[in-house]
Structure 1
């Protein structure tokens, strides 16, 4: 461990390492900024090209595609080498951005978001994979911190870019501007990364294709049901998804290639409590997708202000994660236990305040901002300790699966939560009757029901803490 602690920021950002650091963090920054740009401009998009009933699909398809991109990253890196792998990822991202910029209807926009998701998933996963290839071990913690910090940068730049373009009635340019930025990024990659291929153990093994297909199908089933305002169609979509998830769990038990570490889904597994806690917290925050729309329709805010208010959730997450990451012992248990309480409090506050149409009332906006901040702060408080615990208790021969499972669970929860959020919003009247009346009822139903996720996470978090107590006693 001593060698790991010796690395400094000066070592990471000096000499040739500086170029590697810029290249790796740049890929994550593109992926993250695009997410906030899209969230901010979506209300303007539906105003021009329609498709309000498909609003949540923009996030759902993007995240599902990101899951597939992440799962295929090791294979792409092994077959193509770093330079070509990054180039393929960036070109897919460019293609998706162009399709979004030129879209004349929502189905075309969704196709573009899917391409963006695949390219973004590659970029995101490649950055973590390349840390181990280009930096000395002592610099790994600093490099991971730098990459994580790009999400904080994205909360500043993404809403600003999206909001400015939206207020200029030029939302297409918000997607278009990503094209030259990504081309510059490709040039940087070609100048920095080598061409040689690098075989890895994970790339040599088989992919858990059946589980991936079942995972994607489950999310798509909920999303398909969300397209209808008919409650029966919504229930059918959720029921089909539940069956597919059960089949996925069964496949994890019988397959030699798994998405999660061995025995992680057994009822008495401490890993299961960790994954459930992570997933429920993420599902709770996916209501963020509709925040800019509610703020503009119900509270008369501009796209720029709406984007920044929505970004408070991510900002709260970043601040609390940095603050709590050094906690030890009882501090870890407090972080894991208090986090869901704060998320629940934030969701209840949003359910009570957001539906009230109050254009220009700063007191209402402050309360909405507080609710969003509480949700993000609560998730970030225990997040680093939940992830660390997964790596600590996973079987020694299953560490690769444990590391990749973190991204898989997070992305799956995001996609599933976004799909469920779409069901709730449409059932609440987002598109029918629509307007301020529909937005108000949709906001109440969305936040009230989604508050069940952090409420349930209180139980799984309690089990995680119990496991920590046993390990300490042992």
Structure 2
């Protein structure tokens, strides 16, 4: 296939263009909701309470998304692309409806869980469909399109959430999503095929491993809301124990949660999964609390705080699209450079965010640059990391690899969000709270989680080194 045939026109025109529209639409729906919820959450807790469970809105959403991602292959086999996308959109719409009516934090968390289940299906189905409907030469660009939808979400999500938050009607932000969900379901039904050409039988479901994975996230989350350090440590220890059991079961199971080699440290596949995990954690924990930090420490309105926080995703999107055409050594350099760039952004945030300001651009400008650095550090490597995972999967496990990308990414972000809640609560976000508590929480959040991209520096180098020796 010539370079011209594998360019952007090959992906975005003709039948490929229609398929790209369907994949992009599902991811955009999921991503826009993420930014709406992030932007309005300070207003939500101000009305219905639940500051101690601030991080749980993200944790439960992502836990449910993990379940959806694991079920995606089964749903695709049973219902086909058309039916799978309609079911996913229906669940997403139901969760949004519950959130819009929620009178208390527990009900809101229920809605976020149902939303996450539908969103996880939409997210994972996009990766599965990339492998099914596009030639391998187009995979990096298709991955970049999926990432690019987070850039679209950075425009729409904060605009919807921030506008309604400033009007004192955060519920309308959820109501506004419902018509779009219905339109997407109709579009998917109209343009997607009824059956998948190479999915003839329902794959097995790794129920024990999935249960252990979810339980690990929950025990960390339960520990994170307790003010006593001993319970926080107990939650982390219990989660590590559960993951260890998962690894043992996975090594002997016929039905696997991840492809063979995913838990073997000597495997390139393992190092690739480690790299996407730590990079995803760096972005997730930052974006989750940035709107709150900007409003309390830097005197920003919900709308402006929302837009500034999504600069991280703008950096991710720009990095993905600009880097997606890299091949060979240039792609390897992008993977090696990415964690270094993200690490520099995290260090800047630890130094600059706690200082506080009245919104002067001499302060907000460097902060904005730090947001972009963290996002770009992930984006420039993302299409190549995901493509390498599909290529490195053992023969016959490509479907599993497609679903596992979302599973691992979401598990990492769920665990990261739970740990982030633990860090900020221990650092004083709720006790003593206020300006001083938020300052302390901001410093320790970014300082602690700078470790994530630092790990990525080494895991990326090992993954590439092992790839070269294979």
TM-score range, shorter chain: over 0.9
Tell me, yes or no, if structure 1 residue 152 matches structure 2 residue 151: yes
Post-superposition offset of 1:203: 5.0
Per-residue CA deviations over 1:80-109 (Å, capped at 9, x if unaligned) read 344433332222111111111111221111
Post-superposition offset of 1:213: 0.7
Cα distance in 2 for residues equivalent to 1:18 and 1:465: 32
Cα distance in 2 for residues equivalent to 1:139 and 1:265: 28
Match of 2:273 in 1: 275
Per-residue CA deviations over 1:283-334 (Å, capped at 9, x if unaligned) read 2222220000000011110111111111111111111222222333442333
Mapping of residues 248-263 of structure 1, within 5 Å: 248-263=246-261
Match of 1:66 in 2: 65
Cα distance in 2 for residues equivalent to 1:135 and 1:44: 42
Match of 2:342 in 1: 343
Mapping of residues 225-264 of structure 1, within 5 Å: 225-264=223-262
Mapping of residues 19-418 of structure 1, within 5 Å: 20-130=19-129, 144-193=143-192, 196-198=194-196, 201=199, 203-287=201-285, 288-418=287-417
Relative distance call for 1:358 and 1:144 in structure 2 (3 A) is closer
Cα distance in 1 for residues equivalent to 2:365 and 2:200: 47
Per-residue CA deviations over 1:26-70 (Å, capped at 9, x if unaligned) read 222111111111111111111111111111111111111111111
Cα distance in 1 for residues equivalent to 2:336 and 2:135: 36
Relative distance call for 1:137 and 1:343 in structure 2 (3 A) is closer
Runs of at least 5 residues in structure 1 that lack an aligned partner in the other structure: none
Mapping of residues 450-465 of structure 1, within 5 Å: 450-465=449-464
In terms of mean alpha carbon deviation, does 185-194 or 452-461 score higher? 185-194
Task: Report if aligned partners of 1:4, 1:141 keep a CA contact under 8 Å in 2.
Answer: no
CA RMSD of aligned residues (A): 2.5
Task: Report if aligned partners of 2:22, 2:187 keep a CA contact under 8 Å in 1.
Answer: yes
Task: Report if aligned partners of 2:55, 2:417 keep a CA contact under 8 Å in 1.
Answer: yes
In terms of mean alpha carbon deviation, does 412-421 or 203-212 score higher? 203-212
Relative distance call for 1:306 and 1:203 in structure 2 (3 A) is farther
Relative distance call for 1:202 and 1:118 in structure 2 (3 A) is farther
Post-superposition offset of 1:218: 0.5
Post-superposition offset of 1:349: 0.9
Aligned-partner SS, 1:396: coil
Cα distance in 2 for residues equivalent to 1:144 and 1:329: 17
Cα distance in 1 for residues equivalent to 2:266 and 2:320: 28
Aligned length: 469
Task: Report if aligned partners of 1:214, 1:244 keep a CA contact under 8 Å in 2.
Answer: yes
Cα distance in 2 for residues equivalent to 1:136 and 1:267: 30
Cα distance in 2 for residues equivalent to 1:444 and 1:272: 31
Task: Report if aligned partners of 2:42, 2:292 keep a CA contact under 8 Å in 1.
Answer: yes
Relative distance call for 1:4 and 1:245 in structure 2 (3 A) is farther
Runs of at least 5 residues in structure 2 that lack an aligned partner in the other structure: none
Post-superposition offset of 1:446: 0.9
Per-residue CA deviations over 1:115-151 (Å, capped at 9, x if unaligned) read 1001111222334444566678887776554443222
Cα distance in 1 for residues equivalent to 2:218 and 2:355: 32
Post-superposition offset of 1:8: 6.2
Cα distance in 2 for residues equivalent to 1:159 and 1:199: 38
Relative distance call for 1:228 and 1:186 in structure 2 (3 A) is same
TM-score (norm 2): 0.92
Per-residue CA deviations over 1:353-402 (Å, capped at 9, x if unaligned) read 11112122212111211111111111122222222322333322322222
